[in-house]
Amino acid sequence: MSELEKNFHAPMMNVLLCVADDKLFLGHRNSDWTGIAPILEADIAFSSLAQDDIAHSSAFYELISSVTGQNPDQIAFSRQINEYRCADIVTKSDQFNWAAAIARQFYCNVYDYIRLQSLSNSTWTPLANLAKRICAEQAIHVDHVTSWIEHLGQGTEDSKNRIQHALDEYAPFASMLNESPEGIEKLFDGGVLINEGCLFTAWKEHVIQIVNKSGLTVSIEPCSVVGGRNGKHDEDFTRSLAELQEVFLTDPAAAW
């Protein structure tokens, strides 16, 4: 199916904004580490991951634009706070704590990989094709951050304690990645998205497998609050959005 029926537009835009906004804000947060990561190799890698996430977000904003006719930059930067659909973990400040940055990246990367796998089975061809392409790149992100979880978990007692604390601190926010976008059931019922079971369960199992292999533990409960997927955001999000909008709002019509 190359054309999306009009009655599916609104719920599909919610789903796509969840992906695009997650990617945009995570990439923005990770770009803060450029030039100050613990070692040169990590500095280069994290900067590259940030660029990838921002490029992925751009691709999803362009897909949204193909349906709504809106300018992709306007979609990315000119919405009101309650119109953004990212989970707040992607904007949560890591306070320039490397273990916290890795924990945040780990939870988000594993979730994105599983989410993109699911979206790649959509009957809407443009989405399926985009998700398949980005999923292949996302696998590299997962491999990279998994190596860091293993390195820190199996390193010194200090590194193990630091990454364990970060995983525990971010676990409640990580569960909010699984908050359902409004209208997704309509896409399932209409066969536009394939309901392959609970993404939370698949994500949690993958996370626990990697964490346990690294000599660490994690406790994650299903999301039980209304949060970022439905426009309810915290102060970290507000600060991140202000940073992202600062240049754009000086001249919204400028071409970059």
Domains and CATH numbers, the chain: 6-248 (1.20.1260.10)
Query: At 255, is the pLDDT very low, low, confident or very high (cuts 50, 70, 90)?
Result: low
What local confidence, expressed as pLDDT, does residue 75 receive?
Answer: 96
Q: What's the whole-number mean pLDDT along residues 89-101? A: 95
Band the pLDDT of 110: cuts 50, 70, 90. very high
Give residue-wise pLDDT tens across range 37-58: 888 888 899 999 999 999 999 9
Average pLDDT over residues 174-188: 94
Reported as a single tens digit per residue, the pLDDT across 140-156 is 999 999 999 999 999 99
For 195-217, write each residue's pLDDT tens digit: 877 899 999 999 999 999 999 99
pTM passes above 0.85: yes
CA distance 45 to 146: 13
Closest CA to 27 of 49, 9, 5: 49
Q: Tell me the three state secondary structure of residue 216.
A: coil
Instruction: Supply the mean pLDDT for the chain.
Output: 94
Contact yes or no for 145/105 (Cβ under 8 A): yes
